[in-house]
Amino acid sequence: MRINSFVLLACSLLVLNACSKSEDTSTAEQQSAAPTQTTTQTTTPQQQTPQPSAPASASELPKRGKVVKAMHAGGYTYMQVEDKGKQFWIAATMMNVRRNDNITWTDAAIMRNFTSSTLHRTFDEILFVTSAEIEQ
């Protein structure tokens, strides 16, 4: 009886694993079929993890800016920054920034039409950045 239970459990896990792989494949096919549409996955009831749209060249993305506005929500700091007369939005892991702080970052993924469920707001375009820090 114990061996039958083990075999049944192992078979169930294999079936569930196969089902989850086919869902991942169909999601990837949907994303490649509609590259202008951004999809998100729910990680918590309040925050969505972004899926990058068509990647921009690393040299095209800004790497610094002056904070114009900052908001904190869902473990992220959303900042409207200005660089060379152009204003844009970035999101980084929670950090303590103030207006007029100069910040830099190393890598970024650009998102279009990103909706933050915690801020109840959709950003036309936002950069999700890593290693952001305040310049001294």
Asked whether residue 20 falls in the same domain as residue 78, the answer is: no
- What φ, ψ does residue 29 adopt, rounded to 5°? -65, -40
- Distance (Å, whole) CA 110 – CA 121: 17
| Tokens 């950090």 sit on residue | 95
Asked whether residue 19 falls in the same domain as residue 56, the answer is: no
- Whether 63 maps to a domain, the answer reads yes
Domain that holds residue 104: 48-134
- Whether 72 maps to a domain, the answer reads yes
Report the domain count for the chain: 2
pLDDT, one tens digit per residue, over 85-122 is: 999 999 999 999 999 999 999 889 999 999 999 999 99
Asked whether residue 55 falls in the same domain as residue 104, the answer is: yes
Instruction: Count CA atoms closer than 13 A to 32's CA, side-chain side.
Output: 6
* Residues 125/96/130/35 CA torsion (nearest 10 deg): -20
pLDDT, one tens digit per residue, over 21-70 is: 444 444 444 444 444 444 444 444 445 555 544 445 556 788 999 999 99
Asked whether residue 22 falls in the same domain as residue 87, the answer is: no
Asked whether residue 100 falls in the same domain as residue 69, the answer is: yes
